Amino acid sequence: LTDGLVWNLLLDGDVNTLAFRNVAGTDPFLWGGILPTLFDFSREVLRLVGAEASGSDMELLTEYMQSVTAPPNPYTLPGGRFTPEALRGKALFESGVGQGGAGCTACHSGPLLTNRAVVAGKTAGMRTDVPSLIGVYDTGPWGRLGQWTTLDEMVDFALGFTGAELAPADRDAVLAYVRQLPGDLLYLTSARPLSGSRNVFHQIDIELAFSAPLSSGQADHFHFERAIDAGFAPMPGNWRLSGRYARYEGQPLPLDSQFRIRIDAGLAAPLGASLQGPLELTFSTGPIAEIDCTGHWYLDVLGPVAGTAELALLQTSGGHVAGALLDGAGLIDLDHLEGFVSGTTLFIDPFPVISPFGEVMVEHTEIDLYDDDGDGIADRGDGYLHTPFIDLDVVARPAD
């Protein structure tokens, strides 16, 4: 799922199109790592093609996008097993340079072979999100600018980047391992809710999907926990495994709470695939929305970058908010805004704005809402929006 071309269409400058598969759990997104969640990426893709979608449509699109996985690897032995040369390459891949290895796991670690960090040095003058290597064999060209047209070139660069000095046969073994990935690695292909989600519906059906059917009798590899003062405590309930899926069965979730799902390394599939490292997903529920922001609004942005945007907001059950941008005032270049109300505060999901520095991502917007007449409908609001460069004050006032 890549055209193999270099574009300058989103927020990342000139970049090679990443193959869009096996992306669950590989946040942040884009080569620069500037979009924190897959939901944010879905929204930017729709904005790019001029499509419109509701918040629920966006969630469905995001669930589909994280379900796309690589086809069976043609370079492995039957059943996805590594060849003897690739197994030797795996040992070199995982060994540090000081131990005579390739040192690759400094960046490409964990069950999806990415540390999910943004690092410097891989492309001159740019910080680059570390991509997963799952199914990398046919996703060329490789590199942020598509500068490596063969997998051999990419591996040679990577070995130079780590400072590894390998004999030709060892270099070829590392190449064989990378080409045969994922081999017998078991990995997560989708999760509901998405890791990092906020204000999750308290009656959500929690479901995880993996790259292969799971062996029975492994429910003890899954741990669902709620944050408490001293750490985390187990949630009452049970995990049920069926085929590729693990589903949590329990009571509705407590409101205004943080949760994590931990999956132990060693989770196995019948044909030998296994999870090479532990996985962790986090999400939170919010308090019940105590105020309704549905209506026609002006949003005044105050500071070095200033202007007034006009938007219409619709708040639905659970506090979810969808907004239609009526006038971006030359600041905001998209049709929809998404967010949620938690208590009496409106949180708006990240969106881009036009600034003297070019297009900049607003990473966080928080507006306190006030109900002056006691009818449950917001009458005004004030707060701030946060960008990588500056925080700006915002004032919300009714347009009608």
pLDDT at 291: 95
- The sheet carrying 231-234 orders its strands as 231-234, 222-228, 258-263, 279-284
Tokens of 189: 């292909």
pTM of the predicted protein model: 0.65
Give the CB-side neighbour count of residue 125, counting CA atoms within 13 A. 3
Decide: helix, strand or coil at residue 118.
strand
With 70 as the cut, is the pLDDT of residue 251 above it?
A: yes
pLDDT bracket for residue 72 (50, 70, 90):
confident
Average pLDDT over residues 197-224: 90
| Average of per-residue pLDDT across 254-268 | 94
Q: Which domains does the chain have, with CATH numbers?
A: 6-180 (1.10.760), 188-284 (2.60.40.1220), 295-398 (2.40.128)
Given a cut of 70, whether residue 3 has pLDDT beyond it is no
DSSP element (H, E) containing 313: strand 307-315
Alpha-carbon gap, residue 313 to 2, rounded angstroms: 35
- Beta-carbon contacts of residue 124 (< 8 Å; ≥ 6 apart): none
Give the pLDDT confidence of 364-388 residue by residue, as tens digits: 899 999 999 999 999 999 999 988 7
Query: Rounded to an integer, what distance in angstroms lies between the CA atom of residue 220 and that of residue 212?
Result: 18
Q: pLDDT category, 7, cuts 50, 70, 90?
A: low
Tokens for 396, please give them: 């919300």
Q: Does pLDDT of 9 surpass 60?
A: no
Largest CA distance in the chain: 77
User: For 104-112, what is the mean pLDDT?
Assistant: 84
Q: Return the amino acid letter for 163.
A: G
Residue 62 has φ and ψ, to the nearest 5°, of -65, -40
Q: Is 231 exposed, middle or buried (0-12, 13-18, 19+ CB in 10 A)?
A: exposed
Confidence band, pLDDT 50/70/90 cuts, at residue 128: confident
Q: Coil, helix or strand for 365? A: strand
The pLDDT tens digits for 148-205 are: 899 999 999 999 999 999 999 999 999 999 999 988 788 888 888 888 887 787 888 9
